[in-house]
């Protein structure tokens, strides 16, 4: 695991193997839990937060990020679930109860509204996010490429380079 010195990780936060948290990111598991799966990367300036439990919502909205997920710079993930091998574009926003299946790309600046479910194998863009088209073979391959590249970059930073 690599956590940049300028990142803030507080509360009930679980980080899997080979996770990287980059500069100025904030992961606040203060009122519910955050779980980040193996080989996922949270890029610069991201905000990850959760929603507390209440009488009307006894579970609240924890945040679950699957394995091999790339969360682009300045993205906001709030009380949502992200499947494995997804890419969350730069500046995208995902709100409470949103569910992202495996192998999804979310375009830069997209807004995924509360409770929205995004189907596996598609690109989603816009505000609110809408299904644009099926992912191409090279885009599906890029999901693993991004995961692997950030694991290598994490290892370089841990060695001081």
Neighbours of 6 (CB within 10 A): 12
State residue 160's pLDDT score.
Answer: 76
Neighbours of 77 (CB within 10 A): 28
Nearest-angstrom CA–CA distance, 133 and 12: 36
Contacts of 159 (CB under 8 A, 6+ apart): none
Neighbours of 114 (CB within 10 A): 14
Q: Domain 2-158 maps to which CATH number in 2.160.10.10, 3.40.50.1100, 2.30.40.10, 2.30.110.10?
A: 2.160.10.10
E strands in the chain: 2-3, 8-15, 20-21, 26-36, 41-42, 47-49, 63-65, 70-71, 76-78, 81-82, 87-88, 93-94, 99-100, 105-106, 111-112, 117-118, 122-125, 130-134
H-type helices in 32-136, by residue range?
none
Contacts of 52 (CB under 8 A, 6+ apart): 31, 32, 60
- Residues 54-86 have pLDDT tens digits of 999 999 999 999 999 999 999 999 999 999 999
* Percent of the chain scoring above 70 in pLDDT: 99
- Residues 84-101 have pLDDT tens digits of 999 999 999 999 999 999
- Residues 29-45 have pLDDT tens digits of 999 999 999 999 999 99
């Amino acid at each position: 695991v690599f956590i940049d010195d300028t990142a803030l990780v507080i509360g009930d936060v679980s980080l899997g193997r080979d996770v990287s948290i980059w500069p100025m990111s904030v992961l606040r598991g203060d009122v519910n839990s955050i779980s980040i799966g193996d080989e996922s990367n949270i890029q610069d300036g991201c905000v990850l937060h959760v929603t507390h439990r209440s009488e009307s919502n006894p579970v609240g909205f924890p945040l679950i990020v699957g394995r091999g997920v790339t969360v682009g710079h300045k993205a906001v993930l709030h009380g949502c679930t992200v499947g494995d091998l997804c890419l969350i574009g730069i500046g995208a926003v995902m709100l409470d109860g949103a569910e992202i299946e495996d192998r999804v790309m979310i375009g830069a600046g997209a807004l995924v509204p509360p409770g929205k479910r995004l189907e596996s194998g598609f690109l989603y863009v816009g505000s609110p996010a809408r299904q644009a088209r099926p992912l191409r073979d090279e885009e599906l391959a890029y999901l693993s490429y991004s995961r692997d590249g950030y694991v290598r970059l994490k290892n370089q930073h841990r060695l001081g380079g």
